[in-house]
Amino acid sequence: MTRKRTAILISGHGSNMRSLIEAASEPAYPAEIVLVLSNRPEAQGLAVAKERGIATAAVDHRIYTGRENFEASLQVLLELHRVELICLAGFMRLLTPSFVRLWEGRMINIHPALLPAYRGLHTHERALADGAKIHGCTVHFVVPAMDEGPIIAQAPVAVLEDDTPETLARRVLAEEHRLYPAALAAVASERIKLAGGRVIFADPSDPLARPPGAR
């Protein structure tokens, strides 16, 4: 099995990046993290990746005149490192439809909510304000519209009576760290395919096809 050459795009803390790097440190894991890119030179995640011996680069969006030029620099680095898959992990820049189309079916994202609920920011605050009982996270293929795209996997998290946005975020993040490596493995090992805009599992009993706790 050849491991899929994977880049992770971050903007900040990079805890999801860390969980992906950790999973990929297993030789049997179907993806290899070959590059970590950040649009913010100060992102803490860059130092962590460097320590792990992974190639890193900061492409500071503020020095570019337009999104296209910024993305052209990203693309040069992705090609240089012969990247096959991209994981967005807390990457806080909107990508243009043409860049997204270039990576169609090869770029995935994690979102801290059960999509299509709570697209965008402040998902935990909004779920609490609505009195939601179930919240969670989603890994999906990236399409031009923000926080949309075929869903690969989801993990539910129960909302507790005394939750604050911070306590809820902590439990969702713990699920993200479990879900993202599992979802990347499914994509990298081609256990799933895209058909008619939906994700189909080669094996319907694939554990990822049915989240634990769902009846």
89 binds ligand GRF (CB under 6 A): yes
Asked if 13 is an active-site residue, the reply is no
Residue of 107, 90, 87, 89 whose CA lies nearest to 98? 107
Range 159-198, binding ligand GRF (CB under 6 A): 173, 176
Given 13, 81, 111, 177, which residue is catalytic?
Answer: 111
Q: Which residues have a Cβ under 8 Å from the Cβ of 173 and sit 6 or more positions away?
A: 15, 112
30 binds ligand GRF (CB under 6 A): no
Q: Which residues have a Cβ under 8 Å from the Cβ of 151 and sit 6 or more positions away?
A: 115, 138, 139, 140, 199
CB of 76 to ligand GRF, least distance (A): 24
| Beta bridge pairs of residue 111 | 138
CB of 8 to ligand GRF, least distance (A): 9
Identify which of residues 110 and 114 has a Cβ nearer to ligand GRF in the complex: 110
7 binds ligand GRF (CB under 6 A): no
Judged by DSSP in three states, 193 sits in: strand
Task: Provide the pairing of β-strand 134-141 with 107-111.
Answer: antiparallel
12 binds ligand GRF (CB under 6 A): yes
Give the range of 22-30, 57-65, 106-114, 204-212 binding ligand GRF by CB under 6 A.
Answer: 106-114
Give the range of 59-67, 105-113, 127-135, 182-190 binding ligand GRF by CB under 6 A.
Answer: 105-113
93 binds ligand GRF (CB under 6 A): no
Query: What are the C-alpha distances in Å from 171 to residues 18, 112, 124, 158, 165?
Result: 17, 10, 11, 9, 10
For residues 192 and 201, give the distance between their C-alpha atoms in angstroms, rounded to a whole number.
4
Binding site for ligand GRF (CB under 6 A): 10, 12-17, 89-90, 110-112, 173, 176
The catalytic residue positions are 111
